[in-house]
């Protein structure tokens, strides 16, 4: 199965405003290739666009687990967690991702913001200093 073709078809549906058709294509592909992080990521984004955040969180979690070398997937998963009132889980995921991807600016930005919002100012300051070293 050629996964990019399904993702491109879903994106075509999305661009025409038919998010339901995009989701249908992605779900069909995910049934055929359930271990593909790209499919779960695309499906998660589709669900976010449809304002179905709880279902999106699960798809984004799968994407992050299936493709741990892609820091973007964990970052987006953490943002979704934070948006669904799960900031502690979001911070935990970001810290784990930071261990694997210490130079990822998005992860550091999110860690700084989420920790600041949680009142963990010293930790937020530490990640902010790391970020400044990467992006002076």
Model pLDDT for residues 112-132, shown as the tens digit of each residue? 999 999 999 999 999 999 999
In percent, how much of the chain has pLDDT > 70? 100
Confidence of residue 88 (pLDDT cuts 50, 70, 90): very high
> Which is nearest to 97 in space by CA: 63, 129, 122?
63
Contacts of 8 (CB under 8 A, 6+ apart): none
- What was the pLDDT predicted at 118? 97
pLDDT tens for 71-87 read 999 999 999 999 999 99
- What was the pLDDT predicted at 135? 82
For residues 62-84, one letter each, b for 16 or more C-beta atoms within 10 angstroms of the residue's C-beta and e for the rest, the string is: bbbebbeebbbbbbbbbbbbbee
Reply yes or no on whether the pLDDT at 17 is more than 80: yes
> Which is nearest to 64 in space by CA: 32, 103, 96?
96
More reliable by pLDDT, 135 or 68? 68
Locate 47 and state its tokens.
């669900």
Whether 111 contacts 98, CB under 8 Å: yes
Query: Average pLDDT over the chain, rounded to whole?
Result: 96
What size, in residues, is the chain? 136
Domains of the chain with bracketed CATH = 1-67 (1.25.40.10), 78-136 (1.25.40.10)
List the Cα angle 73/79/84 in 5-degree steps: 125
Reply yes or no on whether the pLDDT at 136 is more than 80: no
Contacts of 127 (CB under 8 A, 6+ apart): 98, 108, 111, 112, 115
């Amino acid at each position: 199965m050629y996964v990019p073709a399904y993702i491109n078809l879903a994106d075509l549906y999305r661009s025409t405003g038919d998010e339901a058709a995009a989701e249908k294509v992605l779900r069909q592909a995910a049934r055929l290739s359930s271990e593909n992080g790209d499919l779960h990521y695309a499906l998660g984004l589709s669900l976010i666009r449809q304002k179905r955040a709880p279902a999106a969180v699960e798809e984004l979690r799968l994407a992050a687990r299936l493709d741990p070398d892609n820091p973007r997937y964990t970052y987006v998963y953490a943002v979704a967690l934070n948006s669904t009132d799960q900031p502690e889980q979001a911070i935990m995921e970001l810290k784990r991702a930071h261990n694997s991807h210490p130079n990822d600016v998005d992860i550091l930005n999110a860690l700084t913001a989420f920790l600041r919002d949680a009142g963990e100012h010293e930790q937020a300051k530490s990640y902010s200093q790391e970020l400044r070293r990467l992006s002076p």
